[in-house]
Every structure is written in C-alpha cells, then in structure tokens.
Amino acid sequence: MNLKYLLNFTKRKLIILFNRYMERINYKELIEKYPWVVEKDHDCILSPDSDGLLCGLFMAHYLNWKIRGYYDGKVLIVDKGVDLRECVFLDMEIFRKEIRSVGHHMVLYNKNKKPESWHNFENCVQPNNLRDYDGAKNFPLKYPLATIHLLIGILNSKFSIDISESAICPLLYTDGVFKNLFGYPENCLDWLNYLGANNKETALHQIFHNDYYSIHDLMDALKDFFEKISNIGEGKRGNDKIKISNTKSELVNLEKSEDCYFINNEAKIKATKFIMILSELTGWKYKENHWLWSGFKVIKFEKSKIKPNNKNFEFLLSKNPLSWAMTSGLDIEYTLDPDNLLLK
C-alpha cells in the first residue's frame, strides 16, 4: 500500500467519522412527520419480548396507549374488534404504508438499489432508515440499542421523563444492550450522540451517563435483576417474554373459547409477574385494564430466511413481505402474508 493511497484512505475515514459525530436526530422534524408517535390513546401491537413489553408499559404510562395484541414474526394475536390500520406496531417494522410502526432492525440491504415499493415504510419510525444505513455497507454501524430507548428520546423531546436508578438495569438488559455497550463501544457512543444522550437534561443521559453505578456495581445490579427474572419460572428460561408460537409456528400458551383465543392462565401469570417487575423498577404504572389477555383472533403467517445479497433482496421485495430483519450479516429473516390477512 503506497503512502498516497494510505493518506487518502485515512482522510476519507476521518471525514466519515466526523460526519457521523456531527449528525443528530431532529426530534422536531420526526414528530412533524410522525405526529401519532406522541399522541395519546392509541391502540398498539407489541413484540412479545422484553423490549416490546417495556414499550407497552412506557406508552401506556405516559400516553395512555392500550395493548391490543402481540406479533412475534410468525403469529399475530389481536383483539377481534380492532382495525389494525388504527393500531401502532411497536418494536417491529411493518412493510405496509397503511400501518404505523416503530422498530430498530436493519431492513435495507443496499441504499443504492432501493426498491420502488420502499414507500411502504413511509409510516415506520426506524433509526437505521433515518440515517440511510444499509446491510451491505453499514451493517457494523447499525442501531445497537432497543426500541424503548428510541421512544424515550422521542417522547422526552416533548415531555418531562425521569429515569430512576432502579430503571437503569431493565433498560440496559433489554435486547442485550449491556453487551453491545462493551462489545461495540464506538458504535454505541456514536448512536447515543446521535440520539442526544450527551445532553445532561435528557432521560437518555440519565440512563447512559448515570453516576449511580461503577462497573462492579452495575454487574451486581444486573445479577440481581437476572435472579428476579429467573425466579418467575423456577429457574427456567424464557421468563422475559410472552411466548405465543414455537419454532414450527405452532401456537403455544393459547387456548380457544368459542370463537376467540385467550392466553392461558399459567402464561398470563408468568408474563404479568415480569411486567410487574419492569413496572416496579421503572415506575411506569402497569394499568391492568390497558393490557389484553383474551378475546384474540389469530393470524398465522409464513416465515423463512434468505441470504442477504442484491439478487435475493430484490426477490424478497418482489414477494411483498410483511416484515423482515437482517439479524446478522448472514441471514434475513422475513415474514410473508400472501393472502393479505393483515389488512382483511
């Protein structure tokens, strides 16, 4: 490698890093484009994991949103009487322009070859899309936090939000964020800067710039949090989610009564215990009448995966997928709705 090439390469890299450092999310413009994200009294559909459940607690507490169903990428269970066009999907991206959603996964493969149907995401709040990041060139730069952190940043630009010391562990636990902070510190620092967490007046600053924990104290606090989760199910795994289907897309923890489904009592008790732990630690009130546990209709979809490359991504988009995520540099997991059941 000659010196001129090395200098040019270094210069280009420095320019990229400088541009990234100077880039900031514009919450005002985002809310003008997606005003519904800070409006009160919406119905929502959650991903049934810790991030989705935190999002549900948060939006119910601050904006009185009501949880009307759950979607895990294979199965959707939703209130029989709800029009999904009136719901907001939290912690997932729905590739339908009629549907509003908030997610954080990598969904674009090549920014230079955006499909004509990309406008299907026009009602989706998505940090990687906001920065025009793609899997082909920017996968190591993808958003490393959880949907709840994005929502906290957005709402905090409009409302006062206080993060207690006890809330920090669940907010670092969800989606393995604590692992990313130490595994990918450069990328995490960049995104925290982008979200405005460096501002001492923000709730995100209280989470990621807190003075409560040394590294050792944080490990102790996380250990205690893990034990609380483990104790829900007598040491078994999976206590931090509502499981509605298995790897074969078969329904689990659901029972049928007449013409609708309900989450069985054992699964409901376990899920409620986890939600109550989150509620106690965050201070976000668990409004029991805002959470639906019965009266569901069930919609099953087709889920598969494909290797990420230009040809495969073009093929995937031609099938009009309902949702997908580039879970690694090796796979895109996607969901098809060939009979358009979501909008029927």
Q: Work out the mean pLDDT of the chain and round it to a whole number.
A: 94
Examine the pLDDT at 207 and tell me if it is beyond 60: yes
SS (H, E, C) the chain: CCHHHHHHHHHHHHHHHHHHHHCCCCHHHHHHHCHHHHCCCCEEEECCCHHHHHHHHHHHHHHCCEEEEEECCCEEEEECCCCHHHEEEECCCCCCCCCEEECCCCCCCCHHHCCHHHHHHCCEECHHHHCCCCHHHHHHHCCCCCHHHHHHHHHHCCCCCCCCHHHHHHHHHHHHHHHHHHHCHHHHHHHHHHHCCCCCCCHHHHHHCCCCCCHHHHHHHHHHHHHHHHHHCCCCCCCCCCCCECCCCCECCEEEECCEEEECHHHHHHHHHHHHHHHHHHCCCCCHHHECCEEEEEEECEEEEECCCHHHHHHHHHCCCCEEECCCCCCEEEEECCCCHHHC
Q: Which tens digits make up the pLDDT trace of 213-231?
A: 999 999 999 999 999 999 9
Examine the pLDDT at 2 and tell me if it is beyond 90: no
Contact partners, residue 65, CB within 8 Å, separation at least 6: 40, 41, 42, 43, 44, 56, 59, 88, 290
Residue 32 domain boundaries: 3-343
pLDDT score for 79? 98
Contact partners, residue 193, CB within 8 Å, separation at least 6: 21, 24
pLDDT score for 54? 98
Banded pLDDT at 111 (limits 50, 70, 90): very high
Examine the pLDDT at 282 and tell me if it is beyond 80: yes
CA 297, chain centre distance (Å)? 23
Q: Burial of 306 by CB count in 10 Å (0-12 exposed, 13-18 middle, 19+ buried)?
A: middle
User: How many Å apart are CA 114 and CA 327, to the nearest integer?
Assistant: 19
Q: Burial of 228 by CB count in 10 Å (0-12 exposed, 13-18 middle, 19+ buried)?
A: middle
Choice among 3-7, 110-114, 227-231 with the minimum mean pLDDT: 3-7
CB 64 within 8 A of CB 40: yes
Examine the pLDDT at 10 and tell me if it is beyond 60: no
- Measuring CA to CA, which residue among 269, 266, 257 is closest to residue 294? 257
User: How many Å apart are CA 261 and CA 294, to the nearest integer?
Assistant: 6
Tokens of 291: 């959470």
Q: Which tens digits make up the pLDDT trace of 42-63?
A: 999 999 999 999 999 999 999 9
Mean pLDDT, rounded, for 274-283: 98
Q: How many domains does the chain have?
A: 1
pLDDT score for 329? 86
pLDDT score for 17? 57
